[in-house]
Amino acid sequence: MTNKKITIKDVAKQSGVSIATVSQILNGNDDKFSPKTVEKVIAAKKALNYEPDYFARRMIVKKSKTIGVLVPDITNPFFGTLLSGIEKILYRENFVTILCNADSDDQRESAYLEELSRRGVDGFIIASSAISNEAINQNLRQKNRPFIVLDQKKAEGFSDAVLSDDFTGGKIAAQHLKDLGHQQVAVVLPKTATENIQTRLAGFRSIYGTNLEVIDASLSKIGGQAAVPKVLSSKVTGIFAINDEIAFGLYYGLKEAGKKIPDDYSIVGYDNIDMAAYVTPELTTVAQPVLKIGETAAQLLLERIAQPDKAWDEIMLPVQLKLRKSTAPLKSFS
């Protein structure tokens, strides 16, 4: 014998009100009814252990209370912290986060975007540059779906955006190495860098010009480790790792080669993920307000959902240099 599924009709019968009244109260419109009526409906719902049908409810209120978040690589702690900030705001407003980890796969990212759109999520937070503006236009803009871009993806005037000041970040990293006397420096970054990373490089170049070594590496610890032979074959003494993950890979590779940080090489990272304070020596890095980026993105998206026609908003958050122990004055300079 199977248990009969409790329906909204059962709740209405037990509470002595109409089905329409129960529907209105359970969908958040309880201000239209007397406290006594609301109390009876809630009591009946609890007594019967009634759970509203998700899809039926969505047809009534025209909202799913879900947000799709697309990131390129969840193994990077940066995106874990970013997601924490996003979820903090969405959870407070009773929204559920659907995370899509594209694993830096362009086709996968576009497929996720299309699938989330088909499933009717209420909005999108896009933290990856691989999703083309054409794909966004087809899946989101033409269908009037609220979305926001952040970190790696430039808004280019067609959506809300939350960015951090990457140019200043690169500039202060360079100025720090220059103040320590490092004239021969390298920047370690991907050959096909996203726009925010190119902006960091531009900030770094504003101090050093073209007098720097550019070393290709993927945005990972493995990428940093693989870049070590090129570092060793150069005359550089100061290194700007375009993210902290690359910096950690450099740490490992240089240690394997018998080199010491900062005695042989001064290293500046970027992001200030938690592990930066736990490696030896502690990593000097450009700190992005990662949690704040996530929180601000979620808040902006909720505002866009509530006010679809408001003007586009782009928020730039500041960065700062976090001085630790991975950098030191050049010996001949000190």
The domains of the chain are located at 8-61, 66-164+290-317, 166-288
The H or E element that residue 287 is part of is strand 284-287
Which residues are within 8 A (CB) of 302 and not within 5 positions of it... i.e. 6 or more apart?
89, 90, 93, 95, 123
How far is residue 316's CA from residue 150's CA, in Å, rounded to a whole number? 10
pLDDT value of position 153: 53
Rounded to two decimals, what is the model's pTM?
0.79
pLDDT, residue 30, reads 78
Cα separation of 247 and 244, whole Å?
Answer: 5
Predicted local confidence at residue 11, as pLDDT = 87
116's tokens: 């989330």
pLDDT tens for residues 274-322? 999 999 999 999 999 999 999 999 999 999 999 988 888 889 999 999 9
CA 262 to chain centre: 31
CATH 3.40.50.2300 fits 66-164+290-317, yes or no: yes
User: CATH number of 8-61: 3.40.190.10, 1.10.3720.10, 1.10.260.40, 3.30.70.580?
Assistant: 1.10.260.40
Would you state the CATH architecture of domain 166-288?
3-Layer(aba) Sandwich (3.40)
Which segment of 24-38, 160-174, 221-235 scores lowest on mean pLDDT?
Answer: 24-38
Quick one: what percent of the chain has pLDDT higher than 70? 87
Distance CA 268, CA 326 (A): 7
Mean pLDDT (whole number) for 238-242: 98
> Read out DSSP for 191-256?
TT--HHHHHHHHHHHHHHTT-SEEEE--SSHHHHHHTHHHHHTS---EEEESSHHHHHHHHHHHHH
